């Protein structure tokens, strides 16, 4: 089966090369029994990949069980997965089969696998390596022939570094990686999905299909869709049910997109896969703050000159400028000659706020002393300190969403 046939059979909409690559990997690995790890943000449709793998494998006539590891309490997860014996714990009035016993010969999909407790991860590793497990409260080893497909919407490498996920389990699960792209990287598919959902909900609720006017399509495409396909589907359903008009203009559509002003993508930055819009936004804000600091230093120097600074102090002032210049990575200030009494102080290089991508630093050989990550950490710390740890206010100060700020705090362990 090829990618197009799989899309038709499983109802997958989209022509993104990144989506096609993920589907092709799933199709290629389906006939085998090796474990598969699916990565991708929440709402990207990770649950469809294990169904494709199961239906295209020799296990398709056996059981397929999907388990949301994050939805099961830590105290009962071992019992759910591996079963328990009668009397093994309070409330265990009878023996119970676990999912691994029920799915013998079939496939188990472990969604949000990173939420598993470390003790359960040890049990899971044993199943992957030997096909053996023991019920809770039992000393008898049982065998199972189960294919495991796991998924996670968080960075497992980072979880390993934080001591929350076992490294050996990660490499055992990650035999083949299927990475699903976020919706913001599938721009050509967004309108296709909108029309598909609109037609489905129009038929479901016996109402005319919702359509977009020409000016509303750029609004749809420019939005970042942090909730991905799930969010798009919910928005279309809401428009289909409560929307007064069946033909939506840009103004009406914006009303249904939360935080549109902060969640829209800049045309100059769309399509970039190296860094997100919010990361570049923070970088430019750092540069603006640096320009403000240097302007204040210039005013201080002018004040010193106006109050009769002597020529022998000029080298000191020159040194101050040079230190600031070196500290900020040679990104803003350029001095051509020493400052003398009554001599005009050179202006700092100006970054036009209306055109962020044209940053004229006026340096022949600019040298960055701070990495993008260090600049982000510095700015985020400053905002959090200023607002006494209040993330909402800090995010507003940084001109980014609170969700993005929370992700950065977690990423940098701030």
* CA distances for 252 relative to 1, 124, 211, 255, angstroms: 42, 49, 12, 5
C-alpha span between 403 and 225 (Å, rounded): 12
CATH of the domain at 219: 1.10.8.60
Does residue 85 sit in the same domain as residue 221? Answer: no
Domain assignment of residue 413, yes or no: no
What per-residue confidence (pLDDT) applies to 320? 54
Does residue 384 sit in the same domain as residue 281? Answer: yes
What per-residue confidence (pLDDT) applies to 229? 94
pLDDT digits (tens, 9 = 90+) for 172-227: 999 999 999 999 999 999 999 999 999 999 999 999 999 999 999 999 999 999 99
Does residue 281 sit in the same domain as residue 397? Answer: yes
Query: Which residue range forms the structural domain that includes residue 138?
Result: 3-181
What per-residue confidence (pLDDT) applies to 265? 65
Q: In this structure, are residues 216 and 249 in contact, taking their beta carbons and an 8 Å threshold?
A: yes
DSSP reduced 3-state for 20: helix
Predicted TM-score (pTM) of the model is 0.61
Q: Which helix (H) or strand (E) holds 109?
A: strand 107-111
Point out the residues of the chain with pLDDT beneath 50: 268-278, 280, 309-312, 324, 328, 330-369
Does residue 227 sit in the same domain as residue 299? Answer: no
Domain assignment of residue 351, yes or no: yes
- Backbone angles phi and psi of 334, in degrees to 5: -130, 120
| Structure tokens that stand for 111 in this block | 């969604």
What per-residue confidence (pLDDT) applies to 379? 81
Domain assignment of residue 414, yes or no: no
Q: For the chain, how many structural domains are there in total?
A: 3
- Backbone angles phi and psi of 351, in degrees to 5: -105, 110
Does residue 162 sit in the same domain as residue 44? Answer: yes
| Structure tokens that stand for 399 in this block | 């001109």
What per-residue confidence (pLDDT) applies to 345? 43
Q: In this structure, are residues 153 and 42 in contact, taking their beta carbons and an 8 Å threshold?
A: yes
pLDDT digits (tens, 9 = 90+) for 371-409: 667 777 888 888 888 888 888 888 777 778 877 877 778
Does residue 315 sit in the same domain as residue 228? Answer: no
Domain assignment of residue 271, yes or no: no
Does residue 282 sit in the same domain as residue 232? Answer: no
Domain assignment of residue 153, yes or no: yes
| Structure tokens that stand for 307 in this block | 């109050």
Does residue 193 sit in the same domain as residue 176? Answer: no
């Amino acid at each position: 089966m090829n990618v197009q046939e799989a899309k038709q059979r499983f109802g997958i909409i989209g022509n993104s090369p990144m989506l096609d690559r993920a589907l092709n990997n799933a199709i290629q690995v389906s006939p085998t029994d090796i474990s598969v790890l699916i990565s991708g943000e929440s709402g990207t449709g990770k649950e469809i990949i294990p169904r494709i793998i199961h239906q295209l494998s020799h296990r398709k006539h056996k059981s397929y069980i999907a388990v949301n590891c994050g939805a099961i309490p830590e105290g009962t997860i071992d019992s759910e997965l591996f079963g328990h014996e009668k009397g093994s714990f309070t409330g265990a009035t009878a023996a119970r089969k676990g999912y691994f016993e029920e799915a013998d010969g079939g496939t188990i999909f472990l969604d949000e696998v990173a939420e598993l407790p470390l003790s359960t991860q040890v049990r899971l590793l044993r199943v992957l390596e030997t096909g053996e497990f023991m019920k809770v409260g039992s000393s008898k080893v049982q065998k199972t022939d189960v294919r495991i497909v796991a998924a996670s919407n968080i960075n497992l490498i980072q979880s390993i570094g934080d001591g929350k996920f076992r490294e050996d389990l990660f490499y055992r699960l990650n035999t083949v990686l299927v990475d699903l792209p976020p919706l913001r990287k599938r721009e050509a598919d967004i309108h296709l999905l909108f029309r598909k959902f609109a037609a489905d909900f129009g038929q479901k609720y016996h109402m005319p299909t919702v359509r977009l006017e020409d000016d509303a399509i750029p609004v749809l495409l420019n939005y970042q869709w942090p909730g991905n396909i799930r969010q798009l589907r919910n928005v279309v359903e809401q428009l289909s049910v409560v929307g007064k008009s069946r033909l939506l203009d840009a103004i009406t559509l914006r009303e249904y997109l939360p935080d549109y002003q902060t969640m829209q993508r800049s045309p100059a930055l769309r399509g970039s896969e190296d860094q997100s819009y919010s990361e570049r936004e923070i970088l430019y804000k750092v540069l603006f703050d640096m320009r403000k600091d240097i302007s204040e230093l210039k005013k201080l120097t002018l004040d010193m000159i106006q109050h009769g600074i002597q020529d022998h102090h000029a080298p000191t002032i020159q040194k101050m400028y040079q230190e600031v210049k070196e500290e900020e990575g040679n990104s803003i200030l350029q001095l051509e000659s020493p400052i003398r009494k009554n001599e005009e102080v050179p202006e700092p290089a100006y970054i036009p706020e209306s055109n962020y991508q044209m940053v004229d630093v006026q340096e022949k050989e600019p040298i960055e002393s701070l990495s993008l990550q260090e600049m982000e950490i510095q700015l985020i710390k400053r905002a959090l300190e200023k607002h006494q740890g209040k993330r909402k206010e800090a995010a507003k100060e940084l001109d980014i969403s609170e969700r993005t700020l929370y992700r950065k705090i977690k990423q940098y362990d701030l």
